[in-house]
Structure 1
Amino acid sequence: MGNRSCAAIVSNDSVLMVRQTYKGSTFWTFPGGRIEQSETPEECAIRETLEETGLEIEITKKVCEFFNDRINGLYFCYLGKVLGGNARLGSDPELSNDAQELLELKWFPIKEMQEHPEVSRILPYL
């Protein structure tokens, strides 16, 4: 995949997650995706969040950056603040309709997701 960036959106003690399929596995993750050559990790997190959730955000904090073996690249995670839009399941404009990887969008109470590997990384920043 290459370098990936995502945004953790937290509101009313809940976190927004997308369920997606990648390399044959289905899982819940933060909105995000591959960093394009012409953009920064922050710009990618903002763009991917809009594409996948319909929400316009601004980045408020960097949570982490590390090499991830699964994607064979750097993984960036940020906290994002909603500026506008309505939460809805979006799509990946680079994939055809029958090849979409996004399956569902859902707000989860943070207390139910504390053991999730991505959510556990953002807890110290909330």
Structure 2
Amino acid sequence: MKHSGRVIILENDHVLLIKRTKKEQVYYVFPGGKAEAGETPEMTAIREAYEELGVQVELETCFFELDFNGVRQFYYLASITGGVLGTGTAEEFTTGEGTYELVWVHIPELGNHPVVPLEVVEKLVK
């Protein structure tokens, strides 16, 4: 099964998400993506955090695992250790296809936003 690695970055009761608008649909996702050949989920999460956010991260623990559309998704609690937030150069940020915006969302308000996957949101707000 293919896998992906994603990061959950928390700060002052807020979580960092990517607000995506594609074909007039707005939704929020945790930074990360699919693994490249030979990558572990941890390696993927670290690479994707740098590509999408412009920061280096240290992974703390695996917070959640989920099978979705044939992909095993791993969500890691992470801390920013370097870089400049908002300087990511991932392809999806530069192709002009839809919009991608980094946003801090107050954890108690996560349920008011269309965040995917819902299972991770439910565990975070507990």
TM-score, structure 1 normalization: 0.78
What is the one-letter code of the residue matched to 1:75? Q
Q: 1:25-51 CA distances to partner (integer Å, 9 max, x unpaired)? A: 542011000111211101111110111
Match of 1:75 among 52, 73, 80: 73
Kindly tell me: are residues 51 and 68 of structure 1, through their superposed partners in 2, closer, same or farther at Cα, counting changes over 3 Å? same
Distance between the aligned counterparts of 1:96 and 1:79, measured in 2?
23
Match of 1:103 among 100, 105, 115: 100
Distance between the aligned counterparts of 1:83 and 1:13, measured in 2?
19
Q: How many residues align?
A: 120
Judge conservation of contact 2:35–2:44 (CA < 8 Å) in 1. yes
What is the one-letter code of the residue matched to 1:60? E
Kindly tell me: are residues 79 and 114 of structure 1, through their superposed partners in 2, closer, same or farther at Cα, counting changes over 3 Å? farther
Judge conservation of contact 2:66–2:72 (CA < 8 Å) in 1. yes
Unaligned runs of 5+ in 2: none
- The alignment yields a C-alpha RMSD, in angstroms, of 2.6
Cα drift, residue 107 of structure 1: 0.8
Judge conservation of contact 1:89–1:105 (CA < 8 Å) in 2. no
Distance between the aligned counterparts of 2:58 and 2:71, measured in 1?
24
Judge conservation of contact 2:107–2:124 (CA < 8 Å) in 1. no
Question: Within 5 Å, which residues of 2 pair with 1:52-67?
Answer: 52-67=52-67
Match for residue 122 of structure 1?
124
TM-score, structure 2 normalization: 0.78
What is the one-letter code of the residue matched to 2:102? L
Q: Percent identity?
A: 31
What is the one-letter code of the residue matched to 1:37? A
What is the one-letter code of the residue matched to 1:122? L
Kindly tell me: are residues 96 and 76 of structure 1, through their superposed partners in 2, closer, same or farther at Cα, counting changes over 3 Å? closer
Kindly tell me: are residues 101 and 34 of structure 1, through their superposed partners in 2, closer, same or farther at Cα, counting changes over 3 Å? farther
Judge conservation of contact 2:67–2:73 (CA < 8 Å) in 1. yes
Cα drift, residue 76 of structure 1: 0.8
Q: 1:84-109 CA distances to partner (integer Å, 9 max, x unpaired)? A: 2221152324x694355651111111
